[in-house]
Structure 1
Amino acid sequence: MTRLRHLLAFGVTSFVFGLAAQAQEAPATPPAATAASSAALADFAAYVDATRQQFDVPGIAVAIVKDGRVVMEMGSGVRKLGDPAKVDAHTQFAIASNTKAFTAASLAILADEKKLDMNDRVVDRLPWFQMSDPYVTREMRIRDLLAHRSGLSLGAGDLLYWPATTYTTEEVVQRLRHVPLANSFRAEYAYDNILFAVAGLVIEKVSGLPYAEFVRQRIFTPLGMTESRINAPARIGPSDDVAIGHAKFDFKDLKPVEPMSWSNNEAAGGIYASVHDLAKWMNAQLAGGTYTDAAGKEQHLFSAARQNEMWSLLTPIHIPEPSVPELKATKPNFSGYGEGWFVSDYRGHKLVWHTGGWPGMVSRLTLVPDLKLGIVVLTNQETGAAFQAVTMRALDAYMDAPKTDWIAAYAAAVKKSQANADDSMKKHEAARAKGAKPSLPLDGYVGTYRDPWYGDVVVEKQGGKLTMRFAKTAQLTGTLDPWQHDTFIAHWNDRSLNGDAFVNFALDPDGKVREVRMEPVSPLTDFSFDFQDLRLAPVEASN
């Protein structure tokens, strides 16, 4: 989940990779598919490969289900640049925030068994749970944990677990009491991940099982999802069919990124899975929570009533204009979030969907309930344009829509996004007092600074330069380069993060640092870098 985003900033396409495609499709499109959809999907493998090449994605896997059957499972490209191993339908990718639907389903299972009620107060299940506002603490219900309407700001608290930190899940949730609220409770939508950590602890408390074990026993095993796991990097073997993520280092050079083990918020985004397994998950969802067991008997994962609740709009989402005219047709008539799912519409059909982002991997899973249609697209590069273009092509095929060049449409969106980022940096450069030097000698900025919810950030002097180190986050270590006056730019040593930040030291009347504030340099930086929420104050040296 790194980037734990629900909508992803498009990366710039600087060059095209010529990787050979390997497509594996089901032997035939089942009779349930219309002739129009069959014709529209005739060149689908070639289209996926063209999408992959246009947006510099080493590997893509896709599965489509219709009327309870698998229409297509395929892979295109490679698991890792420089390695000939191909992506296929069984290659496991990090599905990141698509995990949230599994967390919602886990709570639905427990609710069906009368072990909890979705309207239970969180404090009645976790008495030590605490938000920064007493009213919100008292009134927060289990359902609220899944709906992004808590009053927290976008991505609030994400730095507690991403990039990977040494905090435990319990420590993450305990620190929630210090994360400030930006809005009124249940007043508006703002995507968060931290409350899914709370939901995971509720599942553990009620079921008596670790979150990962509960999902394995109650969802993976019944559905036969043998190619799915949680916190996969800690368990990957050399012969495993697992994709490696790729990122544009400094927004330019595509390279593999190190796999991330992430155990302190598994319920928000910890699952790795193949499209082969996710086809089983989609069919169970589209069947109202039912599946057929090994003996051929119909079973219920969760009730249709619970599914209806998960797919009902709880939190409305403002609908902006598409970023480019080419995407006009994608603008929905309604948009919102239910319990672990986005809900919106396209061409008169309700969509139930989610996306996910992880270091070097992004994905989208889309359900169309009235068509009994499911589409999942997994990729090993950090651009949402690829999964959007593939998803839209498949949706159009089953809605008998005019064929649209979605590759070109999303390429236009990528180009505009990059142009906006370039303009933002030009404005910073224009406002910069280029001759302005730091007010203090570098030693004057050295020290340990503490934020109430994150903890300690250390500024040191090494080799005549300042460095910054987040005490609980190994990846957030880098150099502080002067920008102007008492503002520096933190250039992280790990250039795959694309999260460089302005660091401003505010001085008191005596010329000593009173507070440190931070904010991302680029608008393309993922929102999970919630630097702007930090309020860093000097820690007085002990006597």
Structure 2
Amino acid sequence: MKRLFPFVFLLLPVIVRAQSIVTFADSVRQQHKIPALAFAVVASDSVLACNTMGVRRLDTDLAVKPGDRFHIGSNTKAVTAFIAAMLVKEKKIAWNTTFLTLFPELRWRTRYVYDTVTLANLLTFRGRVQGYSYTTSTPTFRDLHGDYASQRKQLAANFLTQEPMKPDASGLTPSNVDYIMAGLMLEKASGKSYRELVADLGKQLDIDFRFDYPNLIDTTQPWGHDDQLRPLGPAENYKMNWLLAAGNINVSLEQYIHFIQLQLKGLKGKSELLPKKTFEQLLYGMPAFSYGWFNVTDKETGHHIATNEGNAGAFITKVQVIREADRAYIIFTNAAAAATQEGIAALLEELRQRYGR
């Protein structure tokens, strides 16, 4: 028995540390009135933490469980960009393919400024089309016709008749329409729907990607809560179907870890799917916003951080990938209140202090 004592003592700090971060995370959740919170800390070769806590819906005792699904909003963009990189590798499309090359029938009504907009421009928020999001009032569902695929094409065509957006201080023109257009290009180039492309990627990575809020198909899954913490019942949202490639995936934390860990492995040249230089291009290849990822350089450490946040009005998810630290942080919540943002920020800072920045 004596031989076991050193082993037990070695394990004790790890156990205490794991318990303390879970306790801290749950205190953040309660303080900021977040119904459900899930988080993970990932390295290229291991998962350092993965925990889920809280309830699927406020005013119930339905505990959230490992494997429950969360809507990831704009973190969908990194999935879309990754699919694009796979299709570029297969030579089905090129980064410099222009939108109008694939949709020449729209050229007659498109402003000249958009003639040269490429797939790369769209995926890096440099497409110059006007902004559009879940809260934009026009167009309405009645303004467009046909199935959702047809409606997305009509939506893109309408935006191509409008004045271009002026770049911000970083040279970006952030618009979800960029990703609507990029999604259309990927569909045209591959001969598959966006849903099929996501399903194909999911099979390769052993991830069950789905769409819309999780409770639309299964009401026992986590419900989203709006900025007033009101639970949102199951309902199909036409805007989220228009923004399919921009922000409408839902997934479990445990499976999403596979996708994020793939980024870390790829940055080390340990992925067979894409070369190291492509992963570097996707996450850090362009200033301010690369392919589905915002990126900054930590002023203290000099480390490169790729980050994004998903928020479709009911769930907020935050992800950071830090190249030099070989760390990624994932935080999922099922609420979209201001206090939710504060809680995420507090937990992320604590995770970075404990596990590396």
2:49 is matched with: 72
Greater Cα shift, 79-88 or 281-290: 281-290
1:124-523 aligned at under 5 Å gives the runs: 124-129=101-106, 134-152=111-129, 155-156=131-132, 165=141, 167=144, 168-183=151-166, 188-217=171-200, 219-226=201-208, 228-232=209-213, 236-239=217-220, 242-249=221-228, 254-261=229-236, 262-288=240-266, 300-315=272-287, 336-346=288-298, 347-348=300-301, 349-382=303-336, 383-399=340-356
Greater Cα shift, 178-187 or 342-351: 178-187
Change (3 A) 1:132 1:307: farther
Change (3 A) 1:289 1:233: same
Contact 1:63/1:89 (8 A) holds in 2: no
Q: Greater share of helix residues, 1 or 2?
A: 2
Amino acid corresponding to residue 278 of structure 1 in structure 2:
Y
Amino acid corresponding to residue 192 of structure 1 in structure 2:
S
Of 79, 91, 94, the match for 2:71: 94
CA–CA separation in structure 2 for the residues paired with 1:131 and 1:179:
14
2:6 is matched with: none
Task: Please tell me whether Structure 1 or Structure 2 has the larger radius of gyration of its CA atoms.
Answer: 1
Where relative contact order (Cα < 8 A, 6+ residues apart) is larger, the structure is 2
Amino acid corresponding to residue 258 of structure 1 in structure 2:
G
Which ranges in structure 1 are unaligned for 5 or more consecutive residues?
A: 1-30, 292-297, 316-335, 401-543
Per-residue deviation, 1:234: 8.3
Contact 2:95/2:118 (8 A) holds in 1: yes
CA–CA separation in structure 2 for the residues paired with 1:246 and 1:163:
25
Contact 1:311/1:339 (8 A) holds in 2: yes
CA–CA separation in structure 1 for the residues paired with 2:138 and 2:331:
23
Q: How many residues align?
A: 332
CA–CA separation in structure 2 for the residues paired with 1:162 and 1:285:
36
Are residues 1:55 and 2:4 paired?
no
Contact 2:213/2:224 (8 A) holds in 1: no
Q: Secondary structure at the match of 1:149?
A: coil
Contact 1:365/1:377 (8 A) holds in 2: yes
Per-residue deviation, 1:181: 2.0
Q: Greater share of strand residues, 1 or 2?
A: 1
CA-atom RMSD in angstroms: 3.1
CA–CA separation in structure 1 for the residues paired with 2:152 and 2:210:
18
Contact 2:134/2:312 (8 A) holds in 1: no
Q: Deviations over 1:119-150 (max 9, x none)?
A: 12221122245698733221111100011223
Q: Secondary structure at the match of 1:65?
A: strand
Per-residue deviation, 1:185: 10
Q: Secondary structure at the match of 2:159?
A: helix
Q: Deviations over 1:264-307 (max 9, x none)?
A: 2200001001110111111111111899xxxxxx8633332221
Q: Secondary structure at the match of 1:370?
A: coil
Q: Secondary structure at the match of 2:230?
A: strand
Change (3 A) 1:209 1:163: same
Amino acid corresponding to residue 347 of structure 2 in structure 1:
V
Per-residue deviation, 1:92: 0.5
Contact 1:246/1:361 (8 A) holds in 2: yes
Change (3 A) 1:134 1:255: closer
Contact 1:151/1:187 (8 A) holds in 2: no
TM normalised by structure 2 equals 0.83
CA–CA separation in structure 2 for the residues paired with 1:163 and 1:94:
24
Amino acid corresponding to residue 257 of structure 2 in structure 1:
A
CA–CA separation in structure 2 for the residues paired with 1:305 and 1:344:
18
Q: Secondary structure at the match of 1:144?
A: helix
Per-residue deviation, 1:44: 0.8
Amino acid corresponding to residue 221 of structure 1 in structure 2:
K
Per-residue deviation, 1:85: 1.7
Contact 1:150/1:186 (8 A) holds in 2: no
2:148 is matched with: none
Contact 1:106/1:215 (8 A) holds in 2: yes
Per-residue deviation, 1:312: 2.5
Per-residue deviation, 1:105: 0.3
Amino acid corresponding to residue 369 of structure 1 in structure 2:
R
Per-residue deviation, 1:190: 3.4
Change (3 A) 1:186 1:198: farther
TM normalised by structure 1 equals 0.56
Amino acid corresponding to residue 283 of structure 1 in structure 2:
Q
